[in-house]
Amino acid sequence: MTRNGKRGFIYARLFTFLLISMMDRINMSVAGSSVAAEMHLSSVALGYLFSSFLWIYIICLLPAGALTDRLGTRRAVGCAVACWSVFQMLSGLAPTMMTLLFARLGLGLFESPTNLGANRVIREWASRSERGLASATWISGSLAGPSVGALLVAWLVSDFGWRLSFIITGLLGLGWAALWLLVFRSPEKAAWLSAAERTKILAERDIGQTADDARSIGYRGLLASPTMWGLAATQGCLTYTAYFFLTWLPGYMQMARGFTIMRSGVYTALPYALAIVFCLLLSHVIDHLLDTNTLRSGKRRYAVALGRLATSVVLLTPFASSMTEVVPLLTIALTFSAASQSWNFALTNDLLRTQADVGRAVAFLTLGGNSFGVMAPIVTGYLVSSTGSFTIPFFVCGALAVLGAVLALVMTRGVIGAENRMTMPLAVEPAD
C-alpha cells in the first residue's frame, strides 16, 4: 500500500468489489443442496439454476460495456452493485423455483458491468508496469469471495437457513455501494490524491500514447481485430474452469467426498484462500520481469499460456485418495486459473490502443469468456447425473486449460485497433 501510494487503496477497493460479486454468486452453490431439498430439484435442474444468472449477464455485456464507457466507473459500478444486491436479497424471499430464477436473472443483469468497470478503473489508475499486480489484486477477489463466502454462507445456511444467507450477503453489497459512491473519483478529480501521485498516474498509465491512439475504434473496430477474438477465445477456456470451481466445488465436496455443508465450506475455502497469496506473489514477479517495451509488444501472453498449462493439474483431482492430496491440487489449479485470468485482462489493456474503448473491449472479452462459462454448470450437471462421477467434468476442465494455452500463444500477437485508429471518430470522455 505504501509503495503504491493511494493507488493501493483503489486496488484494495477493487479486491472487495469482486469479493462481494463472487460471494453473491457462490451463495447459491453452497446453499444449493438445501434449496434443492426444499424445492425438490434434481442435479440437472440445480445446474440450470446455478447458471441462470449468466444467461442475461451474457446478453447485457456489450451494452453494459458501452454504457460503462459513457457513464464512467463511479456511477456504473456503484449503481450496479446496489441493484444486484437488491436482487440477491430477493433470492432469499423467493417462494418457488420460478421466482428464485427471476431473482438470479436480476443478479446477472446488474453484475454485467463488473469486469468492465473494474478494468476501466485499472486503466485509469495503474501504470503499465503495475497493471499486472493491479489486475491480480482485483481478480484475487474472485478467490476471496468463494473463500469467505463458502465459510460465511455455510455457517448461515447450517445455523439459520439458506434464505437468511441471501439477505445478509445482499446487505453487505448495499453497504459497499454506498461507500464507493461516496469516496471514488477518477485520478483527475480525486481531492484526496496528492499532486505528485496524480502526475505519476497520468504520465505512466498510457506510455507512448499518441493523438491517434486517443481515438475510439468502437465495437466495429474490435470485431475487426483478430487479436481481440484470440483474447476472447482464450478467456472462454479460462472462464469455463473458473465457473466449474465456483458452482460445483462445494457440491463435489458434498457429493463425491461425503462432507457436510459446513465441512465442504471449509475445504472449499482453504484452497481459495491459499490461492490468493500465491496469485498476488506470481503477478508481482511477472510485473518485475516484463519491461515497458515487452508489455507493449504483448509478451504477457507467455505468462497467460504458462498459467493455463499449470491449471491443467486439475485433471488429477478425482484420483486423489485424501484431502491432503486434493487441497494442494486445487490450490495449484485455482492459483493459476485466477492468475492467468488476471494476466489475460492485463494483456488486453496492454494491447488496447486507447482508454476510451476499455469498457467495450472488456465486454467483448467477458462475452467470450462467459459464452463458455455459462455451459460449465449445465454440462457438469448432466455429466454427474449420467455418470455418477466428477471424473469427466474435471477432465473437461483440464483439456480446456491446455487449449487456452495454445490460443494465448498463437492468437494474441497484434495490437487491438492498430488498423482502425485513423478512421474512427474521437471518443466522448465520461464525467469520471
Q: Is residue 424 included in any domain, yes or no? A: no
Residue 82: predicted pLDDT: 95
The single residue listed with the C-alpha cell 489493456 is: 349
What confidence tens digit (pLDDT) does each residue in 115-139 have?
Answer: 888 888 888 888 777 877 888 888 8
| Residue type present at position 27 | N
What confidence tens digit (pLDDT) does each residue in 181-235 have?
Answer: 998 988 888 888 888 888 888 887 764 444 445 567 888 888 888 999 999 999 9
Q: Is residue 92 included in any domain, yes or no? A: yes
Q: Beta-carbon neighbour count of residue 395 at 10 Å?
A: 15
How high is the mean pLDDT of the chain?
Answer: 84
| pLDDT cut 70: percent of the chain above it | 93
How far apart are alpha carbons 39 and 33 in whole angstroms?
Answer: 10
C-alpha cell at 137: 489484486
Residue 425: predicted pLDDT: 42
Phi-psi region of 218 (alpha: psi -120 to 50; beta: other; left: phi over 0): left
Sign of CA dihedral 55, 166, 144, 245: negative
Q: Is residue 26 included in any domain, yes or no? A: yes
Residue 243: predicted pLDDT: 84
How far apart are alpha carbons 397 and 401 in whole angstroms?
Answer: 6
Q: Is residue 330 included in any domain, yes or no? A: yes
281-305 average pLDDT score? 82
Q: Is residue 99 included in any domain, yes or no? A: yes
Residue 419: predicted pLDDT: 53
Phi-psi region of 161 (alpha: psi -120 to 50; beta: other; left: phi over 0): left
Contacts of 138 (CB under 8 A, 6+ apart): 11, 14, 15, 17, 18, 118, 122, 342
Q: Based on the structure, what is the number of domains in the chain?
A: 1
Q: Is residue 418 included in any domain, yes or no? A: no
How far apart are alpha carbons 238 and 401 in whole angstroms?
Answer: 7
How far apart are alpha carbons 194 and 258 in whole angstroms?
Answer: 55
| Boundaries of domain holding 190 | 7-411
pLDDT at 427 over 70: no
Phi, psi (5° rounding) for residue 215? -85, 135
Q: Cβ distance 240 to 332 under 8 Å?
A: no
| Residue 98 CB burial class (10 angstroms; 0-12, 13-18, ≥19) | exposed
Report pTM. Answer: 0.70
Q: Is residue 102 included in any domain, yes or no? A: yes
157-173 average pLDDT score? 90
Inter-CA distances, 277 with 41, 95, 177, 418, Å: 37, 40, 26, 37
Look up the CATH number of the domain holding residue 172.
1.20.1250.20
| pLDDT cut 90: percent of the chain above it | 25
Q: Is residue 337 included in any domain, yes or no? A: yes
C-alpha cell at 246: 465456483
For residue 268, give the nearest of 279, 280, 281, 259 by alpha carbon.
Answer: 259
Residues β-bridged to residue 426? 215
Residue 420: predicted pLDDT: 54
How far apart are alpha carbons 302 and 78 in whole angstroms?
Answer: 35
Write out the chain in H/E/C secondary structure: CCCCCCHHHHHHHHHHHHHHHHHHHHHHHHHHHHHHHHHCCCHHHHHHHHHHHHHHHHHHHHHHHHHHHHHCHHHHHHHHHHHHHHHHHHHCCCCCHHHHHHHHHHHHHHHCCHHHHHHHHHHHHCCHHHHHHHHHHHHCHHHHHHHHHHHHHHHHHHHHCHHHHHHHHHHHHHHHHHHHHHHCCCCCCCCCCCHHHHHHHHHHCCCCCCCHHHECCHHHHHHCCHHHHHHHHHHHHHHHHHHHHHHHHHHHHHHCCCCCHHHHHHHHHHHHHHHHHHHHHHHHHHHHHCCHHHHHCCCCHHHHHHHHHHHHHHHHHHHCCCHHHHHHHHHHHHHHHHHHHHHHHHHHHHHECCHHHHHHHHHHHHHHHHHHHCHHHHHHHHHHHHHCCCHHHHHHHHHHHHHHHHHHHHHCCCCECCCCCCCCCECCCCCC
What is the CA angle 365-370-376, rounded to 5? 145
137-157 average pLDDT score? 81
Q: Cβ distance 309 to 183 under 8 Å?
A: no
232 vs 47: which has the higher pLDDT: 232
pLDDT at 333 over 90: yes
| Residue 258 CB burial class (10 angstroms; 0-12, 13-18, ≥19) | exposed
